[in-house]
């Protein structure tokens, strides 16, 4: 492989936007954070947006007729508009705030799923899914008598598209697939998957939890029916995420949680429901979380997805080279299309020990099955060590990882 240049000046500077790395004076702590796939660090802009809301503009939303409530409502609905623009969704009503990707999938299983799926029907997934895109469907199958169909993957961690296409049948009622795999970093060929689903008139959901920090998105161009993601993986707060739904389909869904804010009128005899998006947002939402997510959108768009995608490709290439040169290290997941995620196993050292010893060097990685046990089973490994990178990572972080691995290999005599 050719040498990959280690040019990251812009991204080194950008680390000073994130206080966890040492504050706004740009003085780096020696934290090597390689666990953004689990949750990303937060820029000052996001932290400040949340704190400003609580300090200056906080009240409950939608119902108040006084100034503070109107201001909080304006900021909350402003965040919805930011998320709409981020996804290039056609309408603001297509954005439903939820707690995160997990709640988003549960919303869809309990609404779209209950509406469309019955005894003997089929839900098509892939072998790459996170548990959040397996278990809600499994629960639906248990209560309806439907079955899961699972498209296989190859040794590289890519979906076998011939098998995926062949798994459609007259009984396929929903397709739900990861845009990007959390365990391996594979970018699925979602355009092809969407085309196959739409040709057959089957609604298709994309689990975008791992795609949102890495890939520029355009719902109108992509043409999926639903897109689900969490804010905390895209540099926003925890406790907030969104479901995008194409208006005609989203508008056909029944409510799933009942309570305040989702109604038009209530009597003991009968309740009528509010229009979208509030019909699917019962109760007081995470107001500050939504505002923080809006700030994360502004931040990401300010950096720009063309640059983020290029940086990701560079980190991927560099990581493949420097990790690939380590004797006894095997990268698990070598798809042609990936985001900068490196799952690996080391001869003679358990992933848990890898993680613990790297942790002692202030290198944060994730070890285990990454909430994707079927992927691990398929690739024949009980667990991996996963380094998942974000926009603040540089090739220096990968060099530190390589050095840390060398040190622990010497320690274990591996």
Q: Which residues bind ligand PLP (CB under 6 A)?
A: 100-102, 130, 132-133, 178, 182, 207, 209-210, 230, 371
Q: Measured between alpha carbons, how far is 397 from 361 in angstroms, rounded to an integer?
A: 12
Contact (CB, 8 A) for 329 and 344: yes
Q: Would you say 222 or 371 has its CB closer to ligand PLP?
A: 371
Task: For the CB of residue 293, give the shortest distance to ligand PLP in the complex, in Å.
Answer: 12
Q: Measured between alpha carbons, how far is 107 from 206 in angstroms, rounded to an integer?
A: 14
User: In 3D, which of 47, 35, 91, 97 has the Cα closest to residue 278?
Assistant: 97
| Buried b or exposed e, range 336-353, using 16+ CB within 10 angstroms | eebbbbbbbbbeebebeb
**CA atoms within 13 A of residue 369's CA, in its CB half-sphere:** 16
- Secondary structure of residue 47 in the 3-state scheme: helix
Q: Would you say 174 or 405 has its CB closer to ligand PLP?
A: 174
Contact (CB, 8 A) for 241 and 111: no
What is each CA distance from 149 to 106, 127, 180, in whole angstroms? 18, 10, 19
Task: For the CB of residue 317, give the shortest distance to ligand PLP in the complex, in Å.
Answer: 23
Q: Would you say 186 or 395 has its CB closer to ligand PLP?
A: 186
Task: For the CB of residue 374, give the shortest distance to ligand PLP in the complex, in Å.
Answer: 13
Task: For the CB of residue 151, give the shortest distance to ligand PLP in the complex, in Å.
Answer: 16
Task: For the CB of residue 61, give the shortest distance to ligand PLP in the complex, in Å.
Answer: 23
What is each CA distance from 307 to 4, 26, 261, 302, in whole angstroms? 17, 21, 40, 10
Active site residue 371: yes
Concatenating the DSSP letter of every residue in 285-340 gives: --HHHHHHHHHHHHHHHHH-HHHHHHHHHHHHHHHHHHHHTSTTEEEE---SSB-S
Q: Would you say 132 or 253 has its CB closer to ligand PLP?
A: 132
Which is catalytic among the residues 371, 396, 402, 414?
371
Q: Measured between alpha carbons, how far is 234 from 211 in angstroms, rounded to an integer?
A: 9
Task: For the CB of residue 182, give the shortest distance to ligand PLP in the complex, in Å.
Answer: 3
Q: Would you say 239 or 351 has its CB closer to ligand PLP?
A: 239
Task: For the CB of residue 195, give the shortest distance to ligand PLP in the complex, in Å.
Answer: 22
Q: Would you say 178 or 358 has its CB closer to ligand PLP?
A: 178
Q: Would you say 15 or 99 has its CB closer to ligand PLP?
A: 99
- Secondary structure of residue 149 in the 3-state scheme: strand
User: In 3D, which of 98, 407, 389 has the Cα closest to residue 231?
Assistant: 98
Active site residues per annotation: 371
């Amino acid at each position: 492989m050719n040498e990959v240049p280690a040019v990251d000046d812009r991204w080194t500077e950008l680390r000073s936007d994130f206080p966890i790395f040492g504050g706004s004076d740009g003085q780096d702590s020696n934290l090597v954070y390689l666990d953004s796939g689990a949750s990303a660090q937060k820029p000052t802009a996001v932290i400040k947006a949340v704190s400003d809301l609580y300090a200056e503009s906080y009240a409950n939303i939608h119902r108040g007729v006084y100034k503070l409530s109107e201001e909080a409502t304006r900021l909350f609905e402003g965040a919805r508009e930011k998320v709409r623009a981020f996804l290039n969704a056609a309408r603001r009503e297509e954005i439903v705030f939820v707690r995160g990707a997990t709640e988003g999938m549960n919303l869809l299983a309990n609404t779209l799923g209950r509406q469309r799926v019955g005894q003997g029907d089929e839900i098509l997934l892939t072998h790459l899914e996170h548990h959040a895109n397996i278990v809600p469907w499994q629960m639906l199958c248990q209560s309806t008598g439907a079955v899961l169909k699972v498209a296989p993957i190859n040794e590289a961690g890519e979906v076998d598209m011939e098998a995926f296409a062949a798994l459609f049948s007259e009984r396929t009622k929903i397709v739900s697939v990861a845009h990007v795999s959390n365990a391996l970093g594979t970018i699925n060929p979602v355009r092809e998957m969407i085309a196959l689903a739409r040709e057959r008139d089957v609604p298709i959901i994309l689990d975008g939890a791992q795609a949102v920090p890495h890939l520029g998105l355009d719902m109108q161009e992509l043409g999926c029916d639903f897109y689900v993601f969490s804010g905390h993986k895209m540099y926003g707060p925890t406790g907030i995420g969104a479901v995008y739904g194409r208006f005609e389909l989203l508008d056909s869904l029944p409510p799933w949680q009942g309570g305040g804010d989702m109604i038009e009128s209530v009597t003991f005899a009968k309740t009528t429901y509010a229009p979208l998006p509030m019909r699917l947002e019962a109760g007081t939402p995470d107001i500050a979380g939504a505002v923080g997510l809006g700030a994360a959108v502004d931040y990401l768009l300010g950096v720009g997805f063309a640059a983020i995608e290029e940086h990701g490709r560079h980190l991927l290439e560099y990581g493949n080279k420097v990790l690939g040169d380590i004797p006894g290290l095997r990268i698990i997941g070598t798809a042609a299309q990936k985001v900068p995620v490196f799952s690996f196993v080391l001869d003679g050292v358990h992933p848990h020990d890898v993680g613990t010893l790297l942790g002692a060097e202030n290198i944060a990685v994730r070890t285990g099955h990454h909430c994707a046990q079927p992927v691990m089973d398929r690739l024949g490994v009980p667990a991996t060590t996963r380094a998942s990178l974000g926009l603040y990572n540089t090739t220096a972080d990968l060099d530190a990882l390589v050095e840390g691995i060398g040190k622990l290999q010497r320690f274990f005599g591996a």
